[in-house]
Each structure stands twice: as structure tokens, then as C-alpha cells.
A and B are shown apart, each in its own frame.
Chain A
Amino acid sequence: QQPVQSPQAVILREGEDAVINCSSSKALYSVHWYRQKHGEAPVFLMILLKGGEQKGHEKISASFNEKKQQSSLYLTASQLSYSGTYFCGTDYSGGGADGLTFGKGTHLIIQP
């Protein structure tokens, strides 16, 4: 039931755009996106809820296709600080009672 992330890794130049996908085989209540830098805890980026409510960053956006059970994270005009591993965490029940099931992560490297 672990969500599948793609791509596994991507290298970009500063200023380029990136899309990271997260796909589930099970119906989703919400999708949570995190970025983790080496040796640090994950940092919250975005949450997408069933029904459309959304929270997140200014320069990062995301979509949630409930029918396809997929979410995509969009990073536009990437900055060096965007480098890290991006994880999507899926919640199948809602309400905050259950933990998240995380994908394997997407490694993003931004080069100058």
C-alpha cells in the first residue's frame, strides 16, 4: 500500500521546473508532501485534502486527482535550496487519527 513516487531522482539546473508524482493503489483522503535534507527531519510543504482544500507554500503548488488517486508536486523556477528528497505521505482515513504511509522518495538535485 506504499504510494509510488516518480521519478526516483532528477537533476535540474537552477531556474528549471520540476514535477514529482505520487500514485496510490488505494483511495486517498489526503496527500502530504515533505522535503527532507540529508540528516534532517522532513519539512512540511503541502497538504491536499479530498474535496479540494489545500495548504502549502508560495512557490510550490500541487494537484490532487482523487479519481486517479494521484498527486503531483510542482516546483517552479527551482532554487538551489530546493535540493533534497521529496516524500509524499498518504492518509487513507482522514481526521488525523492514522499515521502516514510514505513513498520511497524522489531525490532532487539543483545545480547552479
Chain B
Amino acid sequence: GAVVSQHPSWVICKSGTSVKIECRSLDFQATTMFWYRQFPKQSLMLMATSNEGSKATYEQGVEKDKFLINHASLTLSTLTVTSAHPEDSSFYICSATGTSGSSYEQYFGPGTRLTVT
């Protein structure tokens, strides 16, 4: 149980375009979803926290107008990178907590690798 999926797994886009990444909890209801970013050879950095039906909370230094997060249902959160630039190229990973198992454990998705050319 407690499976989180992400789509797409890999995306290449041109500079200036927008990219949407989906994060789904497949077998539980995710009351809270988290978005992380990981640059090559670095650690995961929390970008934002989203709760179903409310506005996301962004970490310091993360532009909310650039990284739009929507958590419209208990099984789906989306991250849209608007006007993407090469420096946004990174590995984006979501995680979720919710009705599955312990409320303390975060279930991670497989990640989405974004390359902006």
C-alpha cells in the first residue's frame, strides 16, 4: 500500500514554456503533499507544502508565482513550473502523508526529471 505516482517521469522543454507535473496517491487519501527539488549531487530541498483545498505554503526563497501548486483533491497535487529556464532543470519529487499507515511517514513518488533547454 501507500503508493505515490508522478507523471511525467522525464520531461524536456524549451526555455520560456510551462510544464505541469502531477503527483497522485494511488491507494490512500493524501491530506498533505510536499514538493521537493533536488539538484545534481545535492540533497532534497523542500519547496512547498500543500493541503487539500487550501493554498500551498512555500519555503523561503521559492517563488510562488513561478511554481504554481494546486491540490484540488485528496489524491492529486500538481506543480506547474511557469516560464521555465535552464536553471529550473532539476529532479522534482513529491511526497504525501495521509490516511495510510502512520501519519508520520512520508511516501515519496518516483520523481520527475525536468530538463529545460
Query: Interface residues, chain A, CB within 8 Å of chain B?
Result: 2, 30, 32, 34, 39-44, 47, 49, 55, 87, 89, 91, 94-105
Contact = CB atoms under 8 A, between A and B. Distances in A.
B32 A41 contact: no
A95 B103 contact: yes
Contacts of A44: 105-108
A30 B93 CA distance: 21
B102 interface: yes
Interface residues of B, number: 26
Nearest to B110: A41
A64 B113 CA distance: 33
B43 A42 contact: no
A98 B49 contact: yes
A55 B105 contact: yes
Contacts of B110: 40-41
